[in-house]
Amino acid sequence: MTSKINGITLYGVKYRDNDKMLTIFTLEKGKIGAACRGVRKANAKMKQIAEPFCFAEAVIVEKSGRNTISEINSYDSFYPIRTDIKKYYAGACALEFTNAFLPEGLVSESHFVLLVEFLKKLAYNSINPVNLLLKFLFDAMNENGYSLNLAACGRCGKEIEGRVFLSVSEGASVCEECRREGEGEYSIKTYKYLRKIAKGELSEEDEESGKNGLKFFNYYISRVSGVTLKSLSELLNL
């Protein structure tokens, strides 16, 4: 059976002498695996789709439960992401998140659009890559059932102005009066910064706030899902 898909390459692994096995997040079929024959040869016509970030239309041949890519029409490789180390790790984190949180075959048009728009902004805008990634993670967590309330105290609904704590189980920040035992404190500066990010205010250039925002999501994601995003850790180490 032959079908066309629109997809973003998440990663690829070497297979046989000249092939690669790709993991692609597609609009039509969700996450799929597909072989790309001869793609490691120097003059391979489909070389582009074997690289992470590639956004392309591809013809997939399915036989005996296995997918093989027979031709592609590349829309965008988002090449500028590869030329800047912060952009690269921010982009890699979004791909890694997609691979970890969306199981094979689960179709999610909303996440597909979110990922494409994020890669476009990351590649072609001058917005701080960390801010773009944090906004992506905030939206992607909400899309995938891990909503995070930063608008006000998640229990009493009042504005948080003093000490702020995180309730992982409720996906909410809480004030000192509503805090329960075991809920960890984080800085009010980080809280206010993340609130801006959640609202789409991405102009902040404070490097310390950016790192603390990444640490916040690194902690929250690992606690609610057990997933550790290696690319996020790499970004923190830059």
Each residue's pLDDT tens digit, 27-63: 999 999 999 887 677 677 777 788 999 999 999 999 8
Q: Is 56 helix (H, G, I), strand (E, B) or coil?
A: strand
- Position 136 confidence tier, pLDDT thresholds 50, 70, 90: very high
Instruction: Tokens 């959640």: give the residue.
Output: 198
Predicted confidence at residue 14, as pLDDT, reads: 82
Rounded Cα distance between 193 and 32, Å, is 36
Q: Are 60 and 67 in contact (CB under 8 A)?
A: yes
- Would you say how long the chain is, in residues? 238
Rounded Cα distance between 174 and 44, Å, is 55
Within the chain, strands assigned E span 2-15, 19-26, 30-36, 55-63, 66-76, 164-167, 172-175, 185-186
Burial of 58 from C-beta contacts in 10 A (0-12 / 13-18 / 19+)? buried
For the chain, give the mean pLDDT.
94
Weakest mean pLDDT among 4-8, 61-65, 159-163: 61-65
pLDDT > 90? residue 17: no
Measured at the CA of 134, the angle between CA 133 and CA 136, to 5 degrees, comes to: 65
Task: State mean pLDDT over 166-183.
Answer: 96
- Position 204 confidence tier, pLDDT thresholds 50, 70, 90: confident
pLDDT > 90? residue 16: no
Predicted confidence at residue 75, as pLDDT, reads: 95
HSE-CB at 7 with a 13 A cutoff on CA atoms is 33
Q: CB neighbours of 13 closer than 8 A, spacing ≥ 6? A: 20, 21
- Position 215 confidence tier, pLDDT thresholds 50, 70, 90: very high
94 membership: H or E segment, kind and range: helix 85-101
Percent of the chain with pLDDT over 90: 84
From residue 76, alpha-carbon distances to 79, 218, 225 in Å are 8, 29, 31
Q: CB neighbours of 181 closer than 8 A, spacing ≥ 6? A: none
Q: Which amino acid is at 20?
A: K
From residue 21, alpha-carbon distances to 16, 72, 191, 197 in Å are 10, 15, 41, 36
pLDDT > 90? residue 99: yes
Predicted confidence at residue 15, as pLDDT, reads: 81
Alpha carbon of residue 146 to chain centroid: 14
Torsional class of 200: left (φ above 0), alpha (ψ -120 to 50), beta (otherwise): left
Closest by CA position to 168, among listed 230, 217, 211, 132: 217
pTM for this entry: 0.94
Q: Are 79 and 88 in contact (CB under 8 A)?
A: no
Domains, the chain, with CATH or none: 2-76 (2.40.50.140), 79-236 (1.20.1440.120)
| The token pair that represents 69 in the structure block | 């890519």
Task: State mean pLDDT over 77-98.
Answer: 97
pLDDT > 90? residue 130: yes
